[in-house]
């Protein structure tokens, strides 16, 4: 199959899914109402378990195989001095992920989550590693300030590889929930550009300080994104009849290779009824692109945390996603917010499945329930 046919087939598969799955959701609600607690007393944990049940189609979801995909790539826009850190940090951090020394490794280890690193064109040679998946991207994106990041064909190829990555692994080992993470110096510039292009808002409203820019650096980053939107205006301002073409065109114009991979992973997860846990700005931009291609995709997404990057809330609002589960003033990326939220999802499902009902525990119910 061609890359485009894989994407089209996946989008059509999602269209045919009932989400939330009414039977599973209603059965889970009935069980929630019988558990030994006042109705609603566990707050968002109750709603979280119901959301997982509705996505998976399982009234008693068990999150045994939990995985975070960290997609990593290089960005030509780093030539414009839009980050507080040099490009060399990207391959160095990939090595750090593989050796287990990053924040995401610590969180994932404590929460029983597997971590996989998707190499989407990171500079350097990496020894074979169980955590590393190389999807064969030979180089960085082009500088979006001077033209498109990549061609539509390259964008489609990487998205299709993301779809195949998660779909094939799901066949082999059944993934219960997936979190999205990323690494790539310059990728918050691309993410903010995607969100500005979609919302038609000036980059001053969608662009934050990323890795810690000072005010002069922040203003430079905003101007670079304005220039990128202007140079790619024909593509970004076009009226599209085909949502897949629109998604790929936005991605090709101002996106990144790792964002493309995450877009595919999100589409593949949804097609397999795997709950998708979004991290911060960059992974949410990838989900936005996936949702442009298939509007039902947002129904499979759980938002982990409120990023301090301003474009994050704009992207969430545009997809009408629920308010994020956590607000810890985080902006690291890597999937750190995803890891924390997956932990809460796991706990929520255990509460649904493992608590006793009033009848089982021989506890009297509220007079209001009689």
Question: Catalytic amino acids?
Answer: 334
* Core vs surface per residue 117-131: b (16+ CB within 10 A) or e: bbbbbbeeeeeeeeb
Q: Is the peptide bond before 20 cis (omega within 30 degrees of 0)?
A: yes
Q: Which helix (H) or strand (E) holds 183?
A: strand 177-183
Q: Exposed, middle or buried by CB within 10 Å (0-12, 13-18, 19+), for 110?
A: exposed
CA distance 269 to 319: 18
Token look-up 């009689």 returns: 370
Starting at the earlier edge strand, list the strands of the sheet with 132-134: 132-134, 114-119, 66-72, 177-183, 276-278, 301-303
Other C-beta atoms closer than 10 Å to the C-beta of 96 total 17
């Amino acid at each position: 199959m061609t890359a485009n046919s894989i994407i089209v087939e996946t989008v059509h598969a999602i269209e045919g899914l009932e989400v939330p799955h009414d039977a599973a959701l209603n059965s889970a609600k009935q069980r929630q109402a019988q558990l030994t607690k006042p109705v609603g007393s566990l707050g968002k944990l109750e709603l979280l378990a119901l959301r997982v049940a509705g996505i998976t189609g399982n009234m008693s979801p068990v999150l045994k195989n939990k995985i975070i995909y960290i997609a990593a790539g290089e960005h030509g826009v780093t030539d414009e001095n839009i980050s507080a850190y040099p490009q060399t940090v990207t391959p160095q951090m990939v090595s750090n992920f593989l050796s287990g020394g990053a924040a995401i490794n610590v969180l994932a280890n404590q929460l029983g989550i597997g971590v996989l690193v998707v190499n989407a064109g990171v500079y350097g040679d990496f020894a074979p590693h169980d955590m590393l998946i190389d999807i064969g991207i030979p180089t960085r994106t082009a500088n979006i300030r001077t033209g498109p990041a990549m061609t539509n064909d390259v964008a489609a190829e990487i998205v299709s590889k993301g779809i195949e990555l998660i779909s094939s692994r799901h066949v082999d080992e059944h993934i219960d929930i997936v979190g999205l993470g990323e690494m790539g110096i310059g990728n918050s510039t691309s993410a903010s550009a995607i969100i500005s292009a979609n919302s038609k808002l000036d980059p001053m409203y969608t662009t934050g300080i990323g890795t810690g820019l000072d005010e002069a650096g922040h203003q430079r980053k905003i101007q670079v994104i304005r220039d990128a939107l202007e140079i790619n205006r024909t593509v970004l301002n076009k009226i599209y009849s085909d949502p897949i073409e629109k998604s790929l065109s936005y991605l090709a114009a101002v996106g990144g290779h790792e964002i493309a991979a995450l877009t595919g992973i999100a589409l593949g997860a949804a097609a397999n009824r795997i709950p998708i846990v979004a991290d911060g700005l960059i992974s949410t931009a990838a989900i936005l692109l996936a949702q442009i291609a298939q509007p039902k995709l947002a129904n499979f997404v759980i938002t982990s945390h409120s990023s301090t990057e301003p474009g994050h809330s704009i992207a969430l609002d545009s997809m009408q996603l629920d308010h994020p589960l956590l607000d810890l003033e985080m902006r690291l990326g890597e999937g750190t917010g995803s890891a924390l939220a997956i932990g809460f999802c796991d706990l929520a499902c255990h509460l649904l499945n493992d608590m006793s009902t009033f009848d089982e525990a021989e506890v009297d119910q509220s007079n209001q329930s009689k």
